[in-house]
Structure 1
Amino acid sequence: MRKIYFLKTCSTCQRILKSLPNLDTFQLQDIKNEPITVKQVEEMQQLAGSYEVLFSKRATLYKEMGLKDENLNEADFKRYILEHYTFLSRPVIIADGKIFVGNSPKVVQQAIDFLQNE
């Protein structure tokens, strides 16, 4: 499976997509227009190892809802990711059993390197 979960309106996601080799081999899902399903987030969690890895603590709602002051567990992370797309750390790139989560330069470079070496 080759899939990228992203936000079409996010300039960072757009920049990262343009930098990826073989983008035409991926199925793209704009998570604002096509919300992620329980099955999809569970598949991401299997590859990433936890829901917390997939959760964006930089989301505006994270602070607005006071979640930074709560002790969240894995079930909480999953629930919030499913409730609102802003809680998914973006983009999420899945390629051939590997997952790359977020937009840090290190993660983006790892994804590019992996895709170039196929």
Structure 2
Amino acid sequence: MNQIPNIEQFELQEIKSNPININQLEALRKHTDSYESLFNKRAQLYKLRGLKDQQLQEEDFKNLILEHYTFLSRPVILIGELAFIGNSKKTVEEMLLAI
């Protein structure tokens, strides 16, 4: 987040205290190829619940993201029709080019 110039131009949502709702999640999904692409497989709950050993479907990913904020990969940045999900070096570089 520190790498984003003019961060004040973005609408920020602190999802721990203000969780993502179904409408927001469905809007984000329209910018991606799946709910799975929005899902954080590094979340501790993912491992604790043994979810990594299950065959999760799209509806499962959607419901889990709505259930607990840690299941949403962060940050999610929308610039026009482009969605940048997560903070990998490649994602951050692509996002900075789009700004």
> How far did 1:95 drift?
1.3
**Deviations 1:51-90, CA, capped at 9 Å, x for gaps:** 0000011000000001001000000000000000000011
Q: Percent identity?
A: 51
**In structure 1, how many angstroms separate the alpha carbons of the residues matched to 2:59 and 2:52?**
16
Q: Is residue 75 of structure 2 the alignment partner of residue 91 of structure 1?
A: yes
Aligned residues: 99
> What amino acid is aligned across from residue 80 of structure 1 in structure 2?
L
Instruction: Identify unmatched segments of 5+ residues in structure 1.
Output: 1-16
**In structure 1, how many angstroms separate the alpha carbons of the residues matched to 2:23 and 2:16?**
17
> How far did 1:41 drift?
0.5
Of Structure 1 and Structure 2, which has the larger fraction of its residues in strand? 1
Q: 2:36 aligns with which of 49, 52, 77?
A: 52
Relative contact order (alpha carbons < 8 A, sep ≥ 6): 1 or 2 greater?
1
- RMSD between aligned residues: 0.7
1:100 match: secondary structure = strand
TM-score, normalisation: structure 1: 0.82
Q: 2:15 aligns with which of 31, 45, 48?
A: 31
Q: How does 1:1-118 map to 2 (within 5 A)?
A: 17-115=1-99
TM-score, normalisation: structure 2: 0.97
Task: After the TM superposition, list the runs of 4 or more consecutive aligned residues in structure 1 that deviate by more than 2 angstroms.
Answer: none
Of Structure 1 and Structure 2, which has the larger fraction of its residues in helix? 1
**In structure 1, how many angstroms separate the alpha carbons of the residues matched to 2:68 and 2:47?**
14
